[in-house]
């Protein structure tokens, strides 16, 4: 099979690097373009990184030598992955869509646009039908799909399994988030060693609203948001990778602990059915030890694409509570955007 040419927008940043790393040796996609700010354009990718490659393996040699382009249409590829700062991502992604590119974005800018799918492919693969509306609006084959904020990915996967089985009415989510979520250089060591920072700008709003669109239903060519109330408190802790969330949920239909565990363990989605290359065998892994999940031990589960749930137990205020972990730069960012693109390819949108 001839691989699909892809570009990475914002390729020198923390999430951009993850795209480059995860796409190396991808069976369907091949990075043919790396694009970044004007300052980087014209230099080789290796040079443009300026010593700031922060991934667990070296820069793929093939990409290291590529010339970085500006983030403007004209790139030699069919699909672009978006890892741009939200200060600039909005109009750039729109330009690419208008120019006929498929855009799979990690940026927040278009997530809540009515005709843009906000996708976790195990949860709402059907939302890709919104692409048709986009195409109509823009008048070409280009489109934008987005993946959600990194923090809510784990909780929303778990909530989906429970919502399908029992219905969810309310949820409280308290996060303990890794430093990689703030990019690089991101969180100063002076601020986080021996500390917790109980605030992450804009994060709680996303955690409270994005899941409602993801868990919503297609209706009249748009998404009807799920009738769930979510309250979130987001914290930064001294962990490298992996966001841990304590979640309490009020269900519409009572459920025992065992049933809830069963619902999560058995949960599978379209990516599993289609055997997409980046799909984990199990979207939700439930650990029975009393002290799991732990970011250090569980973040690489399913190559960083599984949500790991533990401590499923009765909540004395709501019905159930549990802890859920997901890898914030893989499942919560680059990995999810790649899985989105794989779904689109399987569904012939690319």
Q: Where do we find the tokens 């799991």?
A: 292
Given the residues 77, 110, 127, 150, the one annotated as active site:
150
87 vs 290, beta carbon nearer a second copy: 290
Q: What is the rounded distance in angstroms from the CA atom of residue 167 to the CA atom of residue 163?
A: 4
Supply the minimum distance, in Å, between the C-beta of residue 315 and a second copy. 5
Q: Is 190 in the site for a second copy (CB under 8 A)?
A: yes
Q: What is the rounded distance in angstroms from the CA atom of residue 103 to the CA atom of residue 79?
A: 6
Q: Is 199 in the site for a second copy (CB under 8 A)?
A: yes
Q: Is 254 in the site for a second copy (CB under 8 A)?
A: no
Q: Is 294 in the site for a second copy (CB under 8 A)?
A: yes
Q: Which pairing describes strands 243-251 and 168-177: parallel, antiparallel, or unpaired?
A: antiparallel
Supply the minimum distance, in Å, between the C-beta of residue 198 and a second copy. 4
Q: What is the rounded distance in angstroms from the CA atom of residue 323 to the CA atom of residue 321?
A: 7
Taking CB under 8 A as the rule, which mask of x and - marks residues 37-56 in contact with a second copy? --------------x--x--
Supply the minimum distance, in Å, between the C-beta of residue 243 and a second copy. 10
Count residues near a second copy (CB under 8 A).
55
List binders of a second copy among 156-185 (CB under 8 A): 170-172, 174, 176, 179-180, 184-185
Angle CA 106–13–305, to nearest 5: 50
184 vs 225, beta carbon nearer a second copy: 184
| Cβ-based neighbour number of residue 228 at 10 Å | 20
26: which DSSP letter? Answer: -
Q: Which pairing describes strands 4-9 and 102-105: parallel, antiparallel, or unpaired?
A: unpaired
97 vs 179, beta carbon nearer a second copy: 179
**Are 105 and 147 spatial neighbours (Cβ–Cβ below 8 Å)?**
yes
Token reading at 120: 């976790």
Q: Is 230 in the site for a second copy (CB under 8 A)?
A: yes
Supply the minimum distance, in Å, between the C-beta of residue 168 and a second copy. 12
For a second copy, which residue of 38, 61, 76, 194 counts as binding (CB under 8 A)? 194
33 vs 301, beta carbon nearer a second copy: 301
Supply the minimum distance, in Å, between the C-beta of residue 284 and a second copy. 16
Q: What is the rounded distance in angstroms from the CA atom of residue 27 to the CA atom of residue 129?
A: 25
Alpha carbons within 13 A on the beta-carbon side of 100: 6
**Are 26 and 303 spatial neighbours (Cβ–Cβ below 8 Å)?**
no
71 vs 178, beta carbon nearer a second copy: 178
Q: Is 61 in the site for a second copy (CB under 8 A)?
A: no
Given the residues 110, 127, 243, 327, the one annotated as active site:
243
In degrees rounded to 5, what are phi and psi of residue 335?
-60, -40
The number of angstroms, rounded, from the C-alpha of 131 to the middle of its chain's C-alpha atoms is: 19
Q: Which residues pair with 62 in a beta bridge?
A: none
Q: Is residue 243 annotated as part of the catalytic site, yes or no? A: yes
157 vs 324, beta carbon nearer a second copy: 324
Q: Is 244 in the site for a second copy (CB under 8 A)?
A: yes
List binders of a second copy among 62-121 (CB under 8 A): none
Q: Is residue 71 annotated as part of the catalytic site, yes or no? A: no
**Are 122 and 283 spatial neighbours (Cβ–Cβ below 8 Å)?**
yes
**Are 99 and 142 spatial neighbours (Cβ–Cβ below 8 Å)?**
yes
Binding site for a second copy (CB under 8 A): 51, 54, 170-172, 174, 176, 179-180, 184-199, 208, 229-231, 233, 235, 237-240, 244, 246, 248, 289-297, 310-311, 315-318, 321, 323
> Which residues form the catalytic set?
150, 243
């Amino acid at each position: 099979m001839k691989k699909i040419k892809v570009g990475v927008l914002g390729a020198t940043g923390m999430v951009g690097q993850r795209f480059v790393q995860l796409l190396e040796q991808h069976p369907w996609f091949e990075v043919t373009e790396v694009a970044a700010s004007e300052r980087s354009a014209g230099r080789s990718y290796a040079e443009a990184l300026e010593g700031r490659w922060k991934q667990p393996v070296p820069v793929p040699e093939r990409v290291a030598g590529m010339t970085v382009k500006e983030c403007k249409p004209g790139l030699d590829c069919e699909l672009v992955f978006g890892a741009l700062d939200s200060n600039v991502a909005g109009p750039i992604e729109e330009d690419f869509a208008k120019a006929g590119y498929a855009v799979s974005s990690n940026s927040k800018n278009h997530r809540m646009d009515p005709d843009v799918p906000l996708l976790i492919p195990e949860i709402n693969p059907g939302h890709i039908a919104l692409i048709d509306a986009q195409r109509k609006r823009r008048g070409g084959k280009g489109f934008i799909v987005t993946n959600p904020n990194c923090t809510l990915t784990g909780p929303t996967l778990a909530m989906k399994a429970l919502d399908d089985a029992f219905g969810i009415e309310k949820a409280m989510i308290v996060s303990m988030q890794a430093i990689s979520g703030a990019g690089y250089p991101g969180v100063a060591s002076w601020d986080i060693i021996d500390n917790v920072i109980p605030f992450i700008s804009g994060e709680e709003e996303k955690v409270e609203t994005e899941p409602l669109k993801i868990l919503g239903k297609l209706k009249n060519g748009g998404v009807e948001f799920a009738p769930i109330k979510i309250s979130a408190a987001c914290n930064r802790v001294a962990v490298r990778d992996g966001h841990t969330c304590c979640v309490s949920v009020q269900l519409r239909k009572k459920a025992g602990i065992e049933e809830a565990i069963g619902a999560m363990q058995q949960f599978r989605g379209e990516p599993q059915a289609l055997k997409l290359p980046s799909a984990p065998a199990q979207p939700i892994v439930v650990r029975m030890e009393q002290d799991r999940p732990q970011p250090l031990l569980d973040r690489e589960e399913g190559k960083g694409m599984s949500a790991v749930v533990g401590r499923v137990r009765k909540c004395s205020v709501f019905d159930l509570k549990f802890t859920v972990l997901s890898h914030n730069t893989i499942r919560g960012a680059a990995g999810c955007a790649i899985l989105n693109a794989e779904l689109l390819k399987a569904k012939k949108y690319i």
